[in-house]
Amino acid sequence: MDIIAKTRDFLNQTGYIARFTGQLFTLAAKPPYEIKEFLSQCYIIGYRSLPLVALTGFIMGLVLTMQLRPSLVYYGVQSQLPVMVGIAIVREIGPVITALIFAGKIGSSIGAELGSMKVTEQIDAMEVSGTNPYKYLVATRVVAGTLMLPVLTMLADAISLFGAYVGVNISAVTNFRLFFMQILKTLEFGDVLPAFIKTFFFGFAVSIVGCYKGYNSNRGTRGVGNSANTAVVLSSVLIFIIDLLAVQITALLGLN
């Protein structure tokens, strides 16, 4: 019976999220548009997340290089280190790690913020005053999150590659231009485009889940905490699912 109940609950939640997402495509496209709030969310979601993303990206590139170098030296192919690091960061590690950081920071923040507004009845007050809370609170955050994560991912990739360059120069001396020329010569269209496109889906998934959990938060402070927590967990799971689907689609299209 527990399995049946959990399955029913899972299907109900899936339907609620699908309906919640469907509202985005019907209401958000209609004027008036909340341009000022959208730009504010772009600043909060994008610019304020940059320091954490940059630090994570630099450490990621540095550690990956330091871990790979001994094995490549052992097999006598240390000259391929820039190529391997570049492909790994651009195709997979950069987008996924950045999306997980994004889910932990932005997904929880959106869930907690909208959950607090729900508990304090600010959302109800917006409806009474004639403002559409879905367009003002949800649409702006989802669109901003969808557009900002690809930008953050590109910056994280660039900083990660610089961290990889620093990691290489800890044990040897490598020319900056030569290091990046090796990476750029190896990267192909099929490496960059699929990795870039899937970041839009990552950003959309994190933003819509955070908004859904916060917008439908239960009453009380515990409900706000649960909204933030479940937003991060569900967003992280969706990131891995989307990444798996992206890899399969890329393989079917022959872009690998």
Q: What is the structure's pLDDT at 256?
A: 63
Question: Nearest-CA neighbor of 180 among 71, 57, 242, 89?
Answer: 89
| Tokens, residue 205 | 């998934």
What per-residue confidence (pLDDT) applies to 255?
A: 67
The predicted structure's pLDDT at residue 99: 96
CA dist 71 to 20, 48, 182, Å? 49, 37, 19
List Cα–Cα distances, 73 to 63, 166, 183, in angstroms: 16, 17, 18
pLDDT at 185: 87
Structural contact between residues 110 and 214, judged by C-beta atoms closer than 8 angstroms: yes
Rg, C-alpha atoms of the chain: 21
Amino acid residing at 19: R
Residues of the chain with pLDDT under 70: 1, 219, 255-256
Q: What is the model's pLDDT at position 93?
A: 92
CB-based contact 58:158 (threshold 8 Å)? no
pLDDT the model gives residue 44: 93
Q: Which residues contact 135 (CB under 8 A, 6 or more apart)?
A: 27, 28, 34
Q: Kindly report the number of other CB atoms within 10 A of residue 162's CB atom.
A: 18
Q: How far apart are CA 195 and CA 150, in angstroms?
A: 9
DSSP secondary structure string, 50-109? HHHHHHHHHHHHHHHHHHHHHHHHHTT-GGGHHHHHHHHIIIIIHHHHHHHHHIIIIIHH
Q: CA-to-CA distance for 50 and 158, rounded, in angstroms? A: 13
| Nearest one of 137, 103, 151 to 217, comparing CA atoms | 137
pLDDT, residue 151, reads 95
Domain boundaries, the chain: 35-252
User: Would you say 149 and 99 are in contact if contact means Cβ atoms under 8 Å apart?
Assistant: yes
The reply to whether the predicted model has a pTM over 0.85 is: yes
**3-class DSSP state for residue 253?**
coil
Cβ–Cβ under 8 Å, residues 155 and 50: yes
Q: What is the pLDDT of residues 206-229, one digit of tens each?
A: 999 999 998 888 767 777 888 888
